[in-house]
Amino acid sequence: MKREDYYHMLDQEERKGHLKSTKATGISISYSDEVCEMSILLKEKRKKLRRIKKQVKKIASSDSCFEVEQEIKDFQEKILLKKHEEIDAIVKKLEHGYINIQLEKTQAKGKVVLTCKDLPSFLTCKIVSIELRRQYHVYPEDRNSIVDALAVHLKSKIHFGVLRTDIINFFESIPQVLLLDKLEKDNKLSKFAIKCIKRTFYG
């Protein structure tokens, strides 16, 4: 992957709400404290601009508005540059074989799940996830797509029945040893990905 791909990937994760530029409640993954502080300042600058716009009727001719807008633009570029520097530092370590995946256990819908504790771990897991999807062609449909497809079937005139079933603890019941053995025998994944998966399974 190119550096631009990493930038784009984390930007998308931030837009989805999986990654934050600020220390948001309930989201443990974020950039450095410096980026978080800069993001808070950026919010304050945007609030200032909104206040000025309310006070000034002719925004286009307002020098104060233009100055703040330019200030915001420059500050956004500084934050973006800082984010890229942090991503570059993480990727450089990964390229040199340094892997340190920090995970923590948490509860989700009554089940114990593992979540990443920091940005390097998050980025590492995303890289492995992308490689797994590409090599094994795993592209599950999202919930909305499934609901839309189901709605089309339900509206059809074909007679059908609906059987609702579930496999209890499906993912938890998969033997990790057998799964890892298959991944190694298939020889589709990089040594980096296999090493990361082992770290995830066995710590």
- Which is more confidently placed, 57 or 203? 203
Distances (CA, A) of 176 to 85, 150, 165, 182, 195: 36, 33, 24, 10, 14
Q: What is the pLDDT of residues 127-159, one digit of tens each?
A: 999 999 999 998 877 778 888 888 888 888 777
Note down the domain range covering 107: 101-203
Which pLDDT score, from 0 to 100, does residue 22 have? 58
Q: d(Cα 95, Cα 127) in Å, to the nearest integer?
A: 12
Which pLDDT score, from 0 to 100, does residue 25 have? 44
Residue at which a domain ends, from 98, 124, 158: 98
Domain count, the chain: 2
Which pLDDT score, from 0 to 100, does residue 48 have? 84
Is residue 126 domain-shared with residue 187, that is, in the same domain? yes
Structure tokens at 93: 């370590």
Residue at which a domain ends, from 39, 74, 98: 98
* 91 pLDDT higher than 80: yes
- Which is more confidently placed, 22 or 170? 170
In the DSSP assignment, the letter for residue 106 is E
Is residue 92 domain-shared with residue 148, that is, in the same domain? no
The pTM of this model reads 0.74
Which stretches within the chain are classed as H helix?
3-16, 33-55, 63-95, 119-136, 143-155, 176-186, 191-202
Which pLDDT score, from 0 to 100, does residue 141 have? 74
Q: What is the pLDDT of residues 20-34, one digit of tens each?
A: 765 554 556 888 889
